[in-house]
Amino acid sequence: MTRRDLHSIPMHLTGGNSHSAHGAPDAIEKVAAKVRLGRGQSMDFGGERPAPVVLLRSGFLVVRLGYGHGERASTAFVRPGEMIWLSSYRAVGPVSIAAAETAVLLRVEEAKFEALIEKDASVRCYALQQARRHNGADQLRIALLGALRGEERLAGFLLALAAQRGAAHPSGTSLDLPVSRSDLAHHLALNPDTLSRIVTRFKAEGLIAMPDRRTFRIVDLDGLSALSAVVRKWPVSMA
């Protein structure tokens, strides 16, 4: 598998390419409140009814769900150009969003957003695009969590992320992932210590490198893809 092969992974599995996604229509901008969150800041929507629609302009967000006893687990990562309909998470439990790095977002009341969908074709198109992205991301996460081994989960996650937003580098494909090790472990349903051991093993085997704590660099695409049952099912070209 080459760096070029990554981009033959079907976009319905990676959730689409957020870098090529259309920006939010002007109609949404007009009714939205702009919010800036500093790194580490969060917004809790546990008691707000209904929860708003959030569109990320810049930065990186982590969606967290409460499961009782004050515990929260990371369930989704949100990148620039993406939208989250927070009420869809509220059926599970209290929901919050946290900025993994400084973020600028648009916050829209759910009723106002639904009214825009009814009367504005561009907003309907945008909402459909975002729904398809969420559906694809959910399919991928379900497939990854179905893998019995943590190594498969992490390998599949990194390869899908590389297909979506990887940057070419002389020694491999670089991925900027500004989330804590704990958030990533929760996202993959792994114990943080288990995730750390897997990352250490991947580095020792020359599959990945980490020039800093927020950057993953895929060095051996063939070796990493061989570990993922999900990736082996993708019809990628090996030429």
Look up the CATH number of the domain holding residue 219. 1.10.10.10
d(CA 164, CA 175) in angstroms, rounded, equals: 10
147 and 113 together in one domain: no
H/E run at residue 222 = helix 221-226
Residue 124 lies in a domain: no
Q: Which of 72, 205, 228 is nearest to 151 (CA)?
A: 228
In a domain, 34, yes or no: yes
Give Dmax over CA atoms of the chain in angstroms. 56
- Check residue 38 and give its pLDDT: 95
Q: Are residues 179 and 200 in the same domain?
A: yes
pLDDT of residue 9: 41
- The number of domains in the chain is 2
Is residue 125 a part of any domain in this protein? no
In a domain, 179, yes or no: yes
Indicate the residue type of 199. V
Does the residue 205 lie in any domain?
Answer: yes
Q: Are residues 113 and 182 in the same domain?
A: no
Q: Is residue 181 a part of any domain in this protein?
A: yes
Answer yes or no: is 134 within a domain.
Answer: no
Judge residue 110's burial from the number of C-beta atoms within 10 Å of its C-beta, 0-12 exposed, 13-18 middle, 19 or more buried: middle
43 in any annotated domain = yes
Tell me, yes or no, whether 147 and 202 share the same domain.
yes
Whether this model's pTM surpasses 0.75: no
Q: What span, in angstroms and rounded, lies between the C-alpha atoms of 110 and 97?
A: 16
Which residue in 218, 216, 215 sits closest to 228, CA to CA?
218
| Confidence at residue 121, expressed as pLDDT on a 0 to 100 scale | 92
Domain around 108? 26-119
What is the structure's pLDDT at 72? 66
Residues 179 and 217 in one domain: yes
Specify whether the backbone of 15 is left (phi greater than 0), alpha (psi in -120 to 50) or beta.
Answer: left
pLDDT, averaged in runs of 10, over the chain (239 residues): 44 39 74 94 77 91 74 78 82 82 93 92 89 75 74 87 80 87 88 94 95 90 81 40
**Exposed / middle / buried, residue 168 (Cβ in 10 Å: 0-12, 13-18, 19+):** exposed
